[in-house]
Amino acid sequence: MRFSSFPDRKMSELKMALVLSILALLVPVHSLAQAVSENPYQVNYHWGELSGGREMGVVTGVHPDPDGEHMWIVERCSTNQCAGSDLPPIHKLDAQGKVVKSLGAGLFAWPHGFDLDSEGNLWVTEGAPLGDDRGADGFALGMGHQVIKLNQDGEVLMRLGEAGVAGDDATHFNGPSAVQVAANGDVWIADGHRGGNNRVLKFSADGKLLLQLGGGVDSLSREVGRFNDPHDLKMDSQGRLFVADRGNNRIQIFDQEGELLSIWTQFGRPSGIWIDDNDKIYVADGMSGDQWNPGWQRGIRIGDAKTSWITDFIPDFEVQNGSGIEFLATDAEGSIYAGQVGRQRFEKYVRVRP
């Protein structure tokens, strides 16, 4: 009888292997998306130093300079607010994190979205929507609801939207959250922030409206091609537009004519997107967790914008509620620069393992 038990035990092992194989197929997609290699980055939690010993405000924009040697940031005047401040919120940092130029004092109340065009001009959005207490101080001063283009000397070259006036037509915004300038000069704007117009607009280089995606009455929507808090915009080498449709926990991808190409849900709850010259995509998920996106871990997900595969994950273990990383970019060496909103700090992540 002892010998006859061997086939039975072997059969039990085979059955167990079959069950485990079936269970593996049933693992949620988001679990597979996070099952990547061990975090290969080392972080400096307080990178960059403002002039005069100023405290770093909430960093809401990060972008490398075309010269490949400097990094531009937008921070909210050493706090989380610029309305009434005489401090400049835009800074150009060198490779050591030292400020070499600051500009934009008095131009913004609650700066949010940020981009540099191919000529090095700076584009900044006013991200507070109507009814948001964070915009009240600026609204009282007749500021907000605009996208402003500056040169690197701080001269205003263009304003889109009417200062301090919210709306949803071709010449008004409601807390525009992001701006992305295409290679041909077309300007894409996500309008707007939480409670805003939930639309994405395309303008010509001289400010004429070319098309609109989403928006309208009761515009918050989970339908494909529509949005809930579109929070960031980026383009890949093919000119595809990636929209961080944050309130819907997804990225929607469009061509230059506004046709929907794909929807990705494997990057969590995206607040910020960066795509480098090699089509490597970095997505800041600073809001996943029990409050907004249960079952997901917040952090930075890194992958391939061509294939959609996630290759690396940098976890954020510090914050369970409130916001974590929302804005990020990389330099020529692949180091990541990220703004921690809830903790009001600017971080640098350096890759230390392949």
pLDDT in tens, 45-56: 999 999 999 999
pLDDT in tens, 214-245: 997 678 999 999 999 999 999 999 999 999 99
Domain ranges for the chain? 1-35, 40-351
Q: Which residues of 147-180 are buried (b: 16+ CB within 10 A; e: fewer)?
A: bbbbebeeeeeeebbebbbbebeeebbbbbbbbb
Partners of 314 in beta bridges: 300
Q: Which amino acid is at 86?
A: D
Q: Which pLDDT value is given to residue 320? A: 62
In the chain, which stretches have pLDDT less than 50? 1-35
Helix, strand, coil tally for the chain in percent (to 5): 10, 40, 50
Q: Distance between CA atoms of 34 and 312, rounded to whole angstroms? A: 8
pTM, full prediction: 0.89
Average per-residue pLDDT in the chain?
A: 90
Place of tokens 């996943």: 288
248, 230 in Cβ contact below 8 A? no
Place of tokens 């989403």: 214
Peptide bond into 192 cis (omega under 30): yes
122, 91 in Cβ contact below 8 A? no
3-state secondary structure 19-75: HHHHHHHCCCHHHHHHCCECCCEEEECCCCECHHHCCCCCEEEEEECCCCCCEEEEE
215, 173 in Cβ contact below 8 A? no
Q: Distance between CA atoms of 43 and 152, rounded to whole angstroms? A: 29
Write down the CATH superfamily of domain 40-351. TolB, C-terminal domain (2.120.10.30)
